[in-house]
């Protein structure tokens, strides 16, 4: 495909004119003339400056500048379109990448913050305790009942001043003696954070 650089170069070589001679006559540096012929537009700072050189160069070579300028505009506009598309694509990808990174950072922050709040709540809260057995609170003729409870495995369990040890799952057992009437069971649990929970339960023994 014919281009502005080819037209000027072929005509210059046909006339047998050297770059130094052209530079001397039209006051345009040889470096710029070579760039025009090789179509290296990176050395120029504007499209209008290039057009001015092409026009002056064409007239010196005895050419109608309209044809070289037409080829230049065609090729340069294609180049500008490609550059514009690449620039838009680059900006789009950069913007999308920033969005993804920002989303991940926010997501990680929310996860970390949630975990921190959860751990802080556990640390500041008193230990939980649940009574698993017995299921009923009224008995007949039993002298003792088995108390089965569960709490945190690192907590300290005390029943009537007696230390009761739980297993690895936090489960503990205690033989609770009954007498006729109401019997109050009181379990005290102190968590690893020093917080205390007290569970009270009334068991009734009928005669």
The CATH number of whichever domain residue 103 belongs to comes to 1.10.260.40
- What's the pLDDT score for residue 173? 93
User: Residue 179 pLDDT > 50, yes or no?
Assistant: yes
Distance, CA of 4 to CA of 71 (rounded, Å): 5
Name which residue leads in pLDDT, 46 or 175: 175
Residue 184 in contact with residue 164, Cβ under 8 Å?
no
d(CA 72, CA 42): 14
Same domain, 190 and 92: no
Give yes or no: residues 104 and 153 share one domain.
no
Report d(CA 45, CA 47) in Å as an integer.
Answer: 7
d(CA 16, CA 138): 122
Q: What is the pLDDT of residue 71?
A: 85
| 141/197 same-domain check | yes
Model confidence at 84, pLDDT cuts 50, 70, 90, reads very low
**CA dihedral angle for residue 79, residue 82, residue 84, residue 87, rounded to 10 degrees:** -130
97 vs 6 pLDDT, higher one = 6
From 125, 145, 128, select the one nearest 187 (Cα to Cα).
Answer: 128
Q: What is the pLDDT of residue 188?
A: 94
Digit-coded pLDDT (tens) for 186-204: 999 998 888 899 999 999 9
Q: Which domain holds residue 41?
A: 1-124
Do both 153 and 174 map to the same domain?
A: yes
Residues 14 and 50 in one domain: yes
Q: Is the domain of 180 the same as that of 135?
A: yes
Q: Are residues 109 and 138 in the same domain?
A: no
Name the pTM for this structure.
Answer: 0.43
Domain boundary among 124, 140, 156: 124
Calpha distance 15→60 (Å, rounded): 11
Per the omega criterion (within 30 degrees of 0), is the bond before 123 cis? no
Beta pairing partners, 157? 164, 189
Q: Are residues 50 and 135 in the same domain?
A: no
Phi, psi (5° rounding) for residue 174?
-155, 135
Burial-class residue 116 by CB neighbours within 10 Å (0-12, 13-18, 19+): exposed
Percent of the chain scored above 90 by pLDDT? Answer: 42
Which pLDDT value is given to residue 94?
A: 61
How many other C-beta atoms lie within 10 A of the C-beta of residue 98? 10
CA dist., res. 169 & res. 109, Å (int): 32
Q: Per-residue pLDDT for 17 more than 70?
A: yes
């Amino acid at each position: 495909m014919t281009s502005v650089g080819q037209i000027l170069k072929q005509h210059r070589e046909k006339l047998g004119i050297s770059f130094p001679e052209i530079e001397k006559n039209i006051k345009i540096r040889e470096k710029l003339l070579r760039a025009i012929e090789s179509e290296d537009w990176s050395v120029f700072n504007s499209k209008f400056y290039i057009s001015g050189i092409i026009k002056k160069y064409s007239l010196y070579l005895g050419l109608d500048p309209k044809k070289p300028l037409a080829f230049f505009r065609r090729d340069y506009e294609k180049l500008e379109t490609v550059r514009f598309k690449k620039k838009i694509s680059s900006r789009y990808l950069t913007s999308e990448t920033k969005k993804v990174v920002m989303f991940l950072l926010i997501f990680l922050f929310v996860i970390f913050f949630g975990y921190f709040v959860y751990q802080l709540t556990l640390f500041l809260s008193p230990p939980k305790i649940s009574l698993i057995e017995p299921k009923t609170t009224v008995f007949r003729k039993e002298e003792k009942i088995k108390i089965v409870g569960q709490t945190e495995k690192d907590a300290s369990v005390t029943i009537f001043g007696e230390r009761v040890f739980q297993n690895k799952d936090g489960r503990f057992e205690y033989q609770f003696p009954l007498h006729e009437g109401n019997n109050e069971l009181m379990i005290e649990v102190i968590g690893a954070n020093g917080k205390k929970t007290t569970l009270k339960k009334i068991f009734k023994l009928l005669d």
